[in-house]
Amino acid sequence: MEEKLTQLKRILGQVNDLNHTNALLEWDQQVYMPEAGEDERGEQIATISELAHTLFVSDETGQLLEDLKGLTAVLEPYSDEASLVRVTAREYEREKRVPAEKVAEFARVTSTAHGAWAKARQNNDFKHFQPHLEKIVELVKEYAGYFAPYEHVYDPLLDRFEPGMKTVDVKAIFADLRPRQVELIKAITSRPQVDDSFLQQPFADQKQWDFGIMVAEKFGITWDRSRQDRTAHPFTTTFGQNDVRITTRVHEDLPTSALFSTMHEAGHALYELGFDPKHRRTPLSDAASLAIHESQSRMWENLVGRSRSFWTHFYPMMKEAFPSQLGNIDMETFYRAINKVEPSLIRVEADEATYNLHVMLRLEIEIALMEGSIQVKDLPEVWNTKMQDYLGLTPPNDSNGVLQDVHWSGGMIGYFPTYALGNLVSAQLWEKMHQDMPTLEDEIRQGIFNTMLEWLRINIHRHGAKYETQELVQKVTGAKIDPQPYLRYLTAKYSDIYAF
């Protein structure tokens, strides 16, 4: 058995190397690659994707997994060896259903689509992106078809990002969540609005960048294992356990945008940098799911970064960096301003109270696309109608509407629900963390985060993909995903800010 396990790890290591090479190519495409390189880059990514897929679903891999099945019966279920076989077998069974040529085609199409999306967004030209998205939707439907019969056509897509979760589960959670968030928003809007006018002026680009770098370092990012670059839509990517990259974008007239996206991406990076080194180059050295990933990014961005405790320490530094803009603004006024609740067009800039509504809107659209009840050509109109329904706003153009997110250009249909699920998980972990660490708020007020990071390393990060989302959340908090902690957090925070 030991020899077969070694053989399996050898194959998995090679697959891992190929996948990380692709990640490097995709990172370069979004950060530094000249525009004319799109077609060739698409071919490169397609070639490596097909090679990785073919190697992973080879007969040799399948036979090794079959031979190693006995491990899961004789070993402790969540031992490293049994977990490796279980998680690999789950991925193998999924990937085995998809033809290698379709993997290559999907990689080629989405690589080209990214450039088309970026250009369409820049020029407010949905029709430029439309044929690319139509092809992606066609391929995603084909992908789902490989998993029929299913309870819902969206299930195989959701499972790529949230293993074990079904569409019916997400709908049930959102059905419970939406009316309560709407009720909260109504309570907030009945109160006098927070003044954030002092934020609506230029804040120097480089100073914003430097402040974000400083905060990321305080959180625990070290630049010998990471780096930050600029891109159109912030993201985090991993090339190995000691090379995790983050990106951000800076708007001089949106002074907290770059900072909060840096916090968000730093949360993703800290998770990836915390995987157990002994799982390197295996499927266990990966996230449990995107909901767990988002729980980490949303926790650092919001529960830490938008807290009064955080700014008790960092606001004097912020004032020092921007004396002309903030010199006469006290910390409480600043804290209230960065937590202002107001329906907005852009998801990544949305406040905590309205953010989940953006996600629910996208989920409805994705399900309708997969069910065939709407067509890609109708998306701008559908988007605008749903924005009015959910948030009372109509985008002035498609760049601030249907084109604002990068995900569909990458074929990531099924991803968006994980953002809202991550919010819920972040609050559950936050409550448990405070139970285990009564001095946590005091430490945050002093700009100390190593105890918090260590708690996350022990309870979440080191496990990687060993547990599915619900298993991990229950293991750490004693309950499966529950909207109540998040609702308690929002209600307590905003009843304080808006006095209701």
Mean pLDDT over each residue of the chain, to the nearest integer = 96
Distances (CA, A) of 366 to 113, 346, 363: 18, 18, 5
Residue 232: pLDDT over 90? no
| Residue 392 lies inside a defined structural domain of this protein | yes
Q: Read off the CATH number of the domain in which 53 is found.
A: 1.20.58
182 and 94 in a common domain: no
161 part of a folded domain: no
Quote the pLDDT of residue 267: 98
Q: Is residue 157 part of a domain?
A: no
Residues 444 and 377 in one domain: yes
Among 149, 179, 209, the domain-final residue is 149
Q: How far is CA 248 from CA 204, 218, 233, 260, in A?
A: 15, 17, 7, 9
Domain that holds residue 73: 2-149
Instruction: Evaluate whether residue 66 is within a structural domain.
Output: yes
Domain contains 155: no
Take residue 441 and report the two structure tokens written for it.
Answer: 């708020």
Please enumerate in sequence order all residues whose Cβ is within 8 A of that of 451, keeping only pairs 6 or more positions apart, or say none.
Answer: 437, 439, 440, 443
Say yes or no to pLDDT of 72 above 90: no
Question: For position 355, what pLDDT does the model report?
Answer: 96
Specify whether 326 is located in the same domain as 440. Answer: yes
**In whole angstroms, how large is the CA radius of gyration of the chain?**
22
- 127 and 181 inside one domain: no
Structurally, the chain folds into a number of domains equal to: 2
Residues 6+ apart with CB under 8 A from 50: 100, 101, 103, 104, 107
Report pLDDT digits (tens) over 148-177: 999 999 999 999 999 989 999 999 999 999
Residue 74, pLDDT score: 86
Q: Give a yes or no: residue 449 inside a domain.
A: yes
pLDDT of residue 70: 82
pLDDT band at 398 (very low <50, low <70, confident <90, very high): very high
- Reading across the β-sheet that carries 226-230, which strands appear in turn? 226-230, 243-248, 236-240
Instruction: Say whether both 137 and 181 belong to one domain.
Output: no
Same domain, 315 and 194: yes
Same domain membership, residue 340 and residue 216: yes
**195 in the same domain as 143:** no
Q: Residue 159 domain-assigned?
A: no
Do 271 and 342 lie in a common domain? Answer: yes
Q: Are residues 204 and 140 in the same domain?
A: no
3-state helix, strand, coil in the chain (%, to 5): 70, 5, 30
Q: Which of 38, 50, 162, 265 is catalytic?
A: 265
pLDDT digits (tens, 9 = 90+) for 107-162: 999 999 999 999 999 999 999 999 999 999 999 999 999 999 999 999 999 999 99
Which domain CATH number covers 437? 1.10.1370.30
pTM, to two decimals: 0.95
Task: Say whether both 136 and 245 belong to one domain.
Answer: no
Which of 98, 121, 149 corresponds to the end of one domain? 149
pLDDT in tens, 406-431: 999 999 999 999 999 999 999 999 99
Specify whether 265 is catalytic: yes
Q: Are 173 and 481 in contact (CB under 8 A)?
A: yes
pLDDT value, residue 304: 98
Residue in the structure block whose two tokens are 């073919």: 54
Contact 123, 398 (CB under 8 A): no
pLDDT tier at 186, thresholds 50, 70, 90? very high
Mark whether 265 and 391 lie in a shared domain: yes
Kindly indicate the confidence band of residue 210, based on its pLDDT and cuts at 50, 70 and 90: very high
Q: Which of the listed residues 149, 183, 216 is the one where a domain comes to its end?
A: 149
pLDDT digits over 445-497, tens only?
A: 999 999 999 999 999 999 999 999 999 999 999 999 999 999 999 999 999 99
**Is 75 contained in some domain?**
yes
